[in-house]
Amino acid sequence: DQQVKQNSPSLSVQEGRISILNCDYTNSMFDYFLWYKKYPAEGPTFLISISSIKDKNEDGRFTVFLNKSAKHLSLHIVPSQPGDSAVYFCAASAPGETSGSRLTFGEGTQLTVNP
Amino acid sequence: NAGVMQNPRHLVRRRGQEARLRCSPMKGHSHVYWYRQLPEEGLKFMVYLQKENIIDESGMPKERFSAEFPKEGPSILRIQQVVRGDSAAYFCASSRGVGDTEAFFGQGTRLTVV
């Protein structure tokens, strides 16, 4: 049962343009959402997050949008840079003492930014 | 301020051997999570530990896998009698505690079973 889904395994954009990565979830108990970036042979690196009480969070070139009614979130990167090329994982967490910061991950989207 | 440290980075084991993966959380972090990433897949939760306690092991295979986080020393993920299907990247993450929404990841251990 894949509770967090990233339906696009790959995305290719030109340098300077916008990258939009999408993520859908099914578990209505999720209340916190995160995006991680991962380079080959390295661990995931936290990028940006959003609480379910918000619909938008912005940090520099990165903006995450959350549509709770549609159970959908997206990550916008503007402008895209070649160094942004990596695998991006969407992750979600649900509250509770036995869950802590336990994360449920999507399958990832490989972003390639072409010079 | 060292991040989450995992060792070894690469581990090769023959079928039937034991694999021991170590994870030292970030300073000040008392919660540890182990995840597994199979080829072409996302990270899957395995187990959540606090010092000397297993909080949630719902993602652990029922046999051959065990984890511990002793009072002193790193967290250990142990895989007994490894099989080829255990080949994967194993990531450890740590956080400060309940209510801390962000977990920091180590660089992972790549296990190859030959």
- Cβ of A45 under 8 Å from any chain B Cβ? yes
C-beta separation of B52 from A53 below 8 A: no
CB contact under 8 A, A105 and B108: no
CB contact under 8 A, B107 and A43: yes
Q: What confidence tens digit (pLDDT) does each residue in A70-100 have?
A: 999 999 999 999 999 999 999 999 877 666 6
CA A104 vs. chain centroid, Å, equals 12
C-beta separation of B66 from B18 below 8 A: no
Residues of A within 8 A of B101 (CB-CB) are 32, 34, 49, 51, 93, 101
Q: Can you tell me the distance from the alpha carbon of B26 to that of B52, in angstroms, rounded to the nearest whole number?
A: 17
CB contact under 8 A, A49 and B44: no
Lowest-confidence region among A31-35, A38-42, A82-86, B96-100: B96-100
CB contact under 8 A, A34 and B102: yes
C-beta separation of A41 from B89 below 8 A: no
pLDDT of residue B93: 94
Across the range B80-96, mean pLDDT stands at 95
Which percentage of chain A shows pLDDT scores above 70? Answer: 97
Across the range A33-53, mean pLDDT stands at 93
Residue B101 reports pLDDT greater than 90? no
- CA distances (Å), origin B109, targets A15, A43, A62, B76: 33, 9, 29, 12
Beta bridge partners of A63: A58, A76
Optimal mutation site among B36, B38, B43, B45, interface A, most CBs of chain A within 10 A: B43
C-beta separation of B90 from B9 below 8 A: no
Q: Can you tell me the distance from the alpha carbon of B52 to that of B71, in angstroms, rounded to the nearest whole number?
A: 6
